[in-house]
Amino acid sequence: MNGVLVTGGAGYIGSHVVQQLVARGEHVVVIDNLSTGFRDAVHGAELVVGNVGDRSLVSRVLAEHRVDTVLHFAAHTVVPESVCDPVKYYGNNTCNTCNLLACCAEAEVSKFIFSSTAAVYGMTEAGVADEDTPTRPINPYGMSKLMSETMVRDLSAAGALRHVILRYFNVAGCDPAGRIGHSTPHATLLIKVACQHAVGKCASLSIYGTDYNTPDGTGIRDYIHVEDLAAAHLRALDHLRSGGESLTLNCGYGHGYSVREVIDAVTRVSGRALNVVELPRRVGDLPMLIACSDRLQRVLDWHPRYDDLDFIVRTAFQWELKLSQSVDYVS
């Protein structure tokens, strides 16, 4: 059986994809440097600890496992950090992707699925983006991903592989069975941080901007459960295996929730009042960003299972409770 290589497969999203791939009998190998991933998040797949920028390591893994498909998640993903340290992001996200693609071309890998982001769109006039919306990243993170997208498309145009680029909107939640979850240190994603506060890890929850032109004044985002996102990757793999053409697709639910609506959901699910601190807007934050994901549903026959804010929050909160039993949280 040909192997499937998952880079960054010990991280938050990658580990959920690995779990679904293994569950359906795929031969999976993971490369992860464990800088933000966790060894015990990889179940049923071989973990190779290393960096995708190490061409000799990647080439060896591709050959030993007869890899014909790569799912590439390994990346830095914190927007504010990318603004402060852009070289880190271009080095890890863009240059390492270039190295990985070179190895794939040499090994004649035929299928490539790339983890991209809605940050490639930047500011949109209506707060909604489809795949044809102009890409104008406003931070190095978004630009590093857009540059990687370009490299993937150019390699495909040269005839070396076919690809699916998946642009994530706001990923949240955890495995409903509680086997794996979002354990990334210093996380910045709202639902994760709000649930951390609810279990007592931090004394307050900061929200940035309460004067946007939205119904309650706070920013609106499209939240997609990580399990639904993982399922989209498997549908993308099936599409490529059946001879499907290269694609770029948005991954979201097509509707959004405000920051205050998320806070209300965390309060409902946890049964705990949150200490919310209101702060001014951050530079570069958008009033609203929602996915138009009709193409994903139509072309890949993908249909979400967990499109419910309380369910998303409940799985995230249950994971934080589990972590709190093994980690000393500071209240």
- Please return the burial class of 211, using the count of CB atoms within 10 Å of its CB with bins 0-12, 13-18 and 19+: exposed
SS3 labels along the chain = CCEEEEECCCCHHHHHHHHHHHHCCCCEEEEECCCCCCHHHCCCCEEEECCCCCHHHHHHHHHHCCEEEEEECCCCCCHHHHHHCHHHHHHHHHHHHHHHHHHHHHHCCCEEEEEEEHHHCECCCCCEECCCCCCECCCHHHHHHHHHHHHHHHHHHCCCCEEEEEEECEEECCCCCCCCCCCCCCCCCHHHHHHHHHCCCCCCEEEECCCCCCCCCCCEECEEEHHHHHHHHHHHHHHHHCCCCCEEEEECCCCCEEHHHHHHHHHHHHCCCCCEEEECCCCCCCCEEEECCHHHHHHHCCCCCCCCHHHHHHHHHHHHHHHHCCCCCCC
Question: pLDDT at position 79, please?
Answer: 85
Assign a CATH topology to domain 190-221+254-324: UDP-galactose 4-epimerase; domain 1 (3.90.25)
pLDDT, tens digit, for every residue of 53-96? Answer: 999 999 999 999 999 999 999 999 888 889 899 999 999 999 99
Judge whether residue 330 has pLDDT over 60.
Answer: no
State both tokens at 159: 């005839």
Model confidence band, residue 4 (pLDDT cutoffs 50, 70, 90): very high
With a cut of 70, say whether residue 322 has pLDDT above it: yes
Whether residue 160 is predicted with pLDDT greater than 90 in this model: the reply is no
pLDDT digits (tens, 9 = 90+) for 15-33: 999 999 999 999 999 999 9
Percent of the chain, pLDDT > 70? 98
> So what's the pLDDT on residue 78?
85
Average pLDDT of span 183-207: 93
**For residue 157, what are the contacts with CB-CB under 8 A and spacing of at least 6?**
none
* For residue 49, pLDDT beyond 90: yes
State the number of CA atoms in the 13 A half-sphere of 184 facing the CB: 25
Please give the order of strands across the beta sheet that includes 288-291. Answer: 128-129, 288-291, 220-221, 257-258
Q: How far apart are CA 160 and CA 158, in angstroms?
A: 6
pLDDT in tens, 239-290: 999 999 999 999 999 999 999 999 999 999 999 999 999 999 987 678 999 9
Class of domain 3-172+223-251: alpha beta
Q: What is the pLDDT of residue 329?
A: 39
Quick one: pLDDT at residue 22? 98
Task: Give the integer Cα–Cα distance in Å for 198 and 46.
Answer: 35
Burial, 324: exposed, middle or buried (Cβ in 10 Å; 0-12, 13-18, 19+)? middle
In this structure, the chain runs to a length of: 331
Interatomic CA distance for residues 321 and 11, integer angstroms = 19
181-190, 225-234, 279-288, 320-329: segment of lowest average pLDDT: 320-329
In this predicted structure, what is the pLDDT of residue 187?
A: 84
171 Rama class: left (phi>0) / alpha (psi -120 to 50) / beta:
beta
pLDDT at 225: 98
The pLDDT confidence band at residue 184, using thresholds 50, 70 and 90, is confident
CA proximity to 16, closest of 42, 51, 49: 42
Q: Do domains 3-172+223-251 and 190-221+254-324 have the same CATH topology?
A: no
Burial of 39 (0-12, 13-18, 19+ CB in 10 A): exposed
Please give the positions annotated as active site: 141
Does the pLDDT value for residue 331 go beyond 50?
A: no
| pLDDT value, residue 282 | 82
Domain boundaries, the chain: 3-172+223-251, 190-221+254-324
**Stretch 152-161: mean pLDDT:** 94
Residue 327 pLDDT > 60, yes or no? Answer: no
